[in-house]
Amino acid sequence: MIKIPALLLCLMPAACGEINFGAREPAAEAQDGDGQTRPQARPGTPEAEDAAEVTEVAGEVTTPEAGGRLGVTIASLGNPGEQGLWLKTPLVRTNAKGRVAYGGQSADVDLIPIPGEPGAGSRMSLAAFQALGAPVTGLPEIEVFLK
């Protein structure tokens, strides 16, 4: 009887190395140049399809004309220490003047490009959240327009 447990103990380390106990690999995080994790739109969702209005044609990025709708994005609170009305978003490729809308309110903002897919989330200033009456602790879905 003593030989059986000893035999099992000898085989156990080799077998344990090959057993998968359901451990998951860490999820990939979408980070931008600031190292902050941002929400990503799932492919095939309305947010991702709205963002498709910013298209790549023959290697060149095109955006709607002034006053055009850039798309919809999920906004998280950006750095509260940065003053002004701004939205850091992958919906633009260069700094631009724009307008954001939420819940029947709108505000003029500076649009600042950040790396990411057009359907990825954005960061908005505290002042812009307040101007829109958007919940600072939530992740509101906002419309973005080019001025």
Q: How many CA atoms lie within 13 A of 87 on its CB side?
A: 36
**Domain spans, the chain:** 46-146
Closest to 122 measured CA to CA, from 52, 46, 71: 71
pLDDT at 57: 36
* Domain at 46-146, CATH homologous superfamily: RlpA-like domain (2.40.40.10)
Handedness of CA 147, 46, 89, 65 (dihedral sign): negative
pLDDT classification of 120: cutoffs 50, 70, 90:
confident
What phi-psi label fits residue 22: left (phi over 0), alpha (psi between -120 and 50 degrees) or beta? left
pTM of the model: 0.58
